[in-house]
Structure 1
Amino acid sequence: MAISVEWPVRLRLVEEGGTTTARVELRTRAATFTGHGTARRSPEDRDVPEIGEEIAAGRALRDLAGQLLRTADDDLEDAGAAPPRHETRTAYGWTDALA
C-alpha cells in the first residue's frame, strides 16, 4: 500500500544593499525545520539579483538538508539502527588546513 505525505515548504528571499538572505521553512509531521543562507555581491560585480537569490536559496536548502539528515541519524540511533558514527580525529599542527 502506497502512502503519500506532503511537507509544505516556504522560502523567503530578501535583498538589501548587495546582500541576499534566504529563510526556508519545512513542516513535517513531527517538527518544523528552518534553514538559512546568505549571498553577498562583490562591489565590482554587476547587479543581477537572480544570482544572489539562487546562491542564498541554495545555501538555505543545504542548511535545511543537513538538519534533516542529522535528525534522521538521531532517529535511526533511537530505533537501534544507527549508521556508523564518523570517528573524531585529533589534529596536530596545521589545524587551519582541517577547518
Structure 2
Amino acid sequence: MDNNQNQDQNINIQLNEMVAAGAYCNLALVNHSPSEFVLDFIQLMPGVQQAQVRSRVILAPLHAKRVLAALQQNIQNYEAQFGEIKEVEPFVVGAGNAQA
C-alpha cells in the first residue's frame, strides 16, 4: 500500500467541548437484536431508586465485537501497568442483557 492510499484512510475526528467533558457512569446495560447492540450507560446514585441513562450507544454487531476487542486490549494494557482490576461485585447476566 502506498502513501496515497494510507492518507485516504485517515479520518478527521472532531470532539466538541460538551462531548469531551464526558459523563460519569457506574452501570451499563447491554441488549441486542439480530441487527444491533444497544449500550445504555447509567449513573446510579446511592440511596436513589431511579437511575438516569446518561448516554445510549447503538452499534452494528461487527462494531460491537471491535469495541469488545479494544476494551480487552486496553484492560490488558492497564493491568500490565497498574495491576489487576479486582471485581467487588459479581458479574450479572440476565435474560438478554448484561450489566457491567
With normalisation by structure 2, the TM-score equals: 0.29
Q: Which has the higher contact order (CA 8 A, sep 6+)?
A: 2
TM-score scaled by length of structure 1: 0.29
